[in-house]
Amino acid sequence: MRTCPCLTFLIVSAAAATAGEVVLFDAAALPRAAVVSQSGGKFEWRDGALEVETKGDAGYPGVLIKGAWDLSQCNQLILELANRESRGEIPLTIRLDNPDADPGKSAGVFIDRVKVPAKSLKTVTVNLPPALPHAREINRKLSGMKRGPLATTGVVADLEAAKVAGVAVYLNLPKLDWRWAIRRIVARTGPAPETPAWMRMTPDQFFPFIDVYGQFKHQDWPGKIHADEDFKKALEKERTDLEAHPGPSDWNQFGGWAGGPKRAATGRFRVEKVDGQWWMVDPEGCLYWSHGPVRVTPASAVTPLDGREFYFTDLPKADSPFALFYTTRDVLLWPYYEARGIKRTYDFSSANAFRKYGPGWFGQYAGLAHQRLRSWGMNTIANSSDARICRQGRTPYCDRFEMKSPDLEGSHLGWWKFKDPFHPEFRANLRKQLLARKAELDDPWCFGFFVDNEISWGHDTALAEWTLQSPSTQPAKIEFVNRLKQKHGTIAALNAAWQASYADWDALRQSLHKPPPGFREDGVEFSAALTEAYFKNIRDEFKAVAPDTLYLGCRFAGSTRAAVLIGAQYCDVISYNLYRHTLDDFKLPEGVDKPVMIGEFHFGALDRGMFHPSLVQVADQAARGRAYEAYIASALRHPNIIGAHWHQFGEQPTAGRFDGENLQNGLLDVCDTPYWETIEGVRKVGYALYSIRRGARPTANPPARKP
């Protein structure tokens, strides 16, 4: 497939297809629109579609369609899109640009995201933002949020609709290569949703927009806290509910299946295949399926304040008892704040727990966390939770840590750079981190640890490319060059194989450039070798320190096939973070039969004062509960899946965390109040966990204890 030159086609203004429609793009029409590549996206016109190929390590790859359109009378964008891949749904970003657009600063753009199922053609509708009198002025005072309070539609809404100069369709930092297509893009007028009152406020009326409890100030919803007395009422309601729902009757102390088949009791958790299904086996020999939330911690809403103090109502003075919460933080996530230079934060969620429970707030919060989980039909405290809660011997748990070791300097994408497994300090650093967690690793209530999270693997030669783009002193690069010497013998032979022109081996070592396409065979081989060194070194050290604890892998969120195949040889459990509606179509690579843990999933909506509906949006909280039930049921039906963990226990900050995430993803809101509609879905599937796993359907509702 060729890459089209930037401006080879006539730029056209859209013609109306029917009354009230503005055609921005039609692949079947002539003259053809002006299409340019974005971040290396390759495209060609074929069979009435613009066929696009994008790479997994290219930033924001896709296409930009140029034109001149007045969309001021339109409130919907209709796109006909195709996903040519069979491995799953493709997440595409849609962006409209003004002539002076600066996407990096979210200025002069409208951005939204859509998903297209595997091997399908789908027509998607994107709602365009209404004309708001003060939106630009307010939006340009906002920062640090993935989605702001004026974005009723889209992720970013800072567009002058009468002056649209481009529409871009692309992937947002993809980890995989994709093939997809665009057939048609049309703007039109559809039913207009009601515009909330706060969207027409002046800046003086709008700011501050976060109240003393960390909630959105200008909206009301069921269960919102308006005064301190409301905490007591919420707690009384919840205690009544917990008393009525003490937990599933067929669980043992670990949440294992007390009435199910018995296996050998070893005193520790392990994995075993039973009657064609993978299971965990708990310390008492009962079959166990892991069901619970990530980040069981009161510090879920640690909010950056730097340069944003005017967002917040009545932040506490230095002599206030609530000033303590300028210093409380989440231990696991705090390095992410520090890495971004964030200096000042406020922990709204912990402050609210203090309001709710009083001076002994943490102890009461911790105890209630265990009671809540059992009552909700959950038997796991998943990773990134507060160790003081995990270590109470009441609920099984797992945890994770990120490797602290020298980077593969040429690597990019992902949360952190890839760690160099050939570095002589790699294993020693790993052992040091494991020994620091020895008490947890040896705890019979701890079933396993993840090492690293959502690593960026790129495509099948990416690790080798990044190695060659690293400094000459990089241990992985030294190893790679030595292997190339052994294989090719001379630099002339390598140049012939790669169609390269390196003067000598030292020139290859010194080069920081991406290698030529001819290196592919060697690139695939070394990427696999580096991957194997990574997993093998971790397993060897992990089992030397904690032989009876499960190595749960690295939480794949997009990966190469080779990474999964190699990881399966060394991990006790393969882990994936999979944000989707169902796992019915989830498959391991051919030839792999291993237990699988779902490390993260969630759903969210916009009916409870949050600005971002999470990575998988649903209509409202009732739909959220139904989506939860369906997802877990699909996981229970899968013979390889041994658990699934919701992300996360408490809500993210309304005004954004270290990276701006402000998703409606909690089982509890920022004021420690359960989302009751979601909990209903959690209970329904949680109380029927083992009957569903063995083939039965869930009952209509979990039984309440008789008074």
| CATH assignment of the domain containing 104 | 2.60.120.430
**Does 153 share its domain with 280?**
no
If one counts the domains in the chain, the total is: 2
**Does 79 share its domain with 165?**
yes
Would you say residue 307 lies in a domain?
Answer: yes
How far, CA to CA in Å, does 526 sit from each of 487, 512, 657? 12, 17, 37
Asked which of 192, 211, 244 is the last residue of a domain, the reply is 192
Rounded-to-integer distance, Cα 57 and Cα 459, Å: 7
Would you say residue 513 lies in a domain?
Answer: no
The pLDDT value given to residue 13: 37
Q: Strand order in 164-170's β-sheet?
A: 34-38, 62-69, 164-170, 90-102, 107-116, 156-157
Residues 387, 441 contacting (CB under 8 angstroms)? no
Tell me the per-residue pLDDT of 558-589, one tens digit each, with 9 for 90 and over.
888 999 999 999 999 999 999 999 999 899 99
Would you say residue 483 lies in a domain?
Answer: no
The pLDDT value given to residue 174: 85
* CA 146 and chain centroid, separation: 13
Residue 524 scores a pLDDT above 90: yes
Would you say residue 95 lies in a domain?
Answer: yes
Alpha helix segments (H runs only) across 9-166: 135-139
Tell me the per-residue pLDDT of 85-143, one tens digit each, with 9 for 90 and over.
988 889 999 999 999 999 888 889 999 989 999 999 999 999 898 888 898 899 889 99
**Does 29 share its domain with 136?**
yes
Strand 34-38 to 62-69 pairing: antiparallel
**Does 603 share its domain with 665?**
yes
Residue 172 scores a pLDDT above 60: yes
Q: Pick from 683, 681, 678, 655: which is nearest to 665 by CA? A: 678
The pLDDT value given to residue 670: 99
316 or 558, greater pLDDT = 316
* CA 476 and chain centroid, separation: 29
Largest CA distance in the chain: 85
Would you say residue 465 lies in a domain?
Answer: no
Rounded-to-integer distance, Cα 132 and Cα 365, Å: 42
Tell me the per-residue pLDDT of 426-485, one tens digit each, with 9 for 90 and over.
999 999 999 999 999 999 999 999 999 999 898 899 999 999 999 999 999 999 999 999
Query: For the domain that residue 344 is a member of, what is the CATH number?
Result: 3.20.20.80
The pLDDT value given to residue 559: 87
Tell me the per-residue pLDDT of 20-61, one tens digit each, with 9 for 90 and over.
799 999 999 877 879 999 999 999 999 999 999 999 877 899
pLDDT confidence tier of residue 8, bands split at 50, 70 and 90: very low
The pLDDT value given to residue 10: 30
**Does 242 share its domain with 170?**
no
Residues 114, 94 contacting (CB under 8 angstroms)? yes
* Tokens linked to 626: 């139904």
Residue 300 scores a pLDDT above 50: yes
pLDDT confidence tier of residue 192, bands split at 50, 70 and 90: confident
Q: What range does the domain containing 314 cover?
A: 229-384+578-693
pLDDT confidence tier of residue 1, bands split at 50, 70 and 90: very low
3-state secondary structure of 446: strand
Mean pLDDT (whole number) for 379-398: 98
The pLDDT value given to residue 18: 54
**Does 36 share its domain with 127?**
yes
% of the chain beyond a pLDDT of 70: 95
The pLDDT value given to residue 218: 98
DSSP 556: B
**Does 181 share its domain with 233?**
no
* Sequence-distant (≥ 6) Cβ neighbours of residue 360 within 8 angstroms: none
Residue 3 scores a pLDDT above 50: no
**Does 234 share its domain with 307?**
yes
* CA 92 and chain centroid, separation: 15
Residue 412 scores a pLDDT above 90: no
Q: What are the φ and ψ backbone dihedral angles of 642, each rounded to 5 degrees?
A: -115, 5
DSSP 698: P
3-state secondary structure of 390: helix
The pLDDT value given to residue 702: 56
Give the type of residue at 229: E
Highest mean pLDDT among 118-132, 584-598, 692-706: 584-598
Residue 404 scores a pLDDT above 70: yes
Half-sphere exposure of 692 (CA within 13 A, CB side): 23
* Sequence-distant (≥ 6) Cβ neighbours of residue 101 within 8 angstroms: 107, 108, 109, 165, 166
* Tokens linked to 684: 């329904």
Would you say residue 539 lies in a domain?
Answer: no
3-state secondary structure of 82: strand
Would you say residue 564 lies in a domain?
Answer: no
Residue 5 scores a pLDDT above 70: no
- Return the sign of the alpha-carbon dihedral for residues 179, 184, 187, 189: negative
The pLDDT value given to residue 104: 83
Peptide bond into 364 cis (omega under 30): no
Quote the pTM value. 0.89
The pLDDT value given to residue 255: 99
- Return the sign of the alpha-carbon dihedral for residues 130, 135, 140, 141: negative
Rounded-to-integer distance, Cα 277 and Cα 290, Å: 14
Describe the crossing of helices 520-545 and 475-488 by its angle, rounded to 10 degrees: 130
Mean pLDDT (whole number) for 274-290: 98
Residue 6 scores a pLDDT above 50: no
**Does 173 share its domain with 51?**
yes
% of the chain beyond a pLDDT of 90: 84
pLDDT confidence tier of residue 697, bands split at 50, 70 and 90: low
**Does 274 share its domain with 329?**
yes
Residues in the chain: 707
Residue 73 scores a pLDDT above 80: yes
Which of 154-158, 204-208, 368-372 is least confident? 154-158
The pLDDT value given to residue 591: 92
Helix (H) or strand (E) holding 99, with range, is: strand 90-102
**Complete DSSP assignment for 341-388:** T---EEEHHHHHHHHHH-TTHHHHHHHHHHHHHHHHT---B-SS--HH
**Does 134 share its domain with 251?**
no
Rounded-to-integer distance, Cα 295 and Cα 467, Å: 34
* Tokens linked to 257: 């299946």
268 pairs with which residues across the strands? none
**Summary mean pLDDT of the chain:** 93
Would you say residue 141 lies in a domain?
Answer: yes
Residues 387, 407 contacting (CB under 8 angstroms)? no
Mean pLDDT (whole number) for 385-400: 98
Residue 7 scores a pLDDT above 90: no
The pLDDT value given to residue 594: 98
Q: Is 14 left (phi over 0), alpha (psi -120 to 50) or beta?
A: beta
**Does 301 share its domain with 244?**
yes
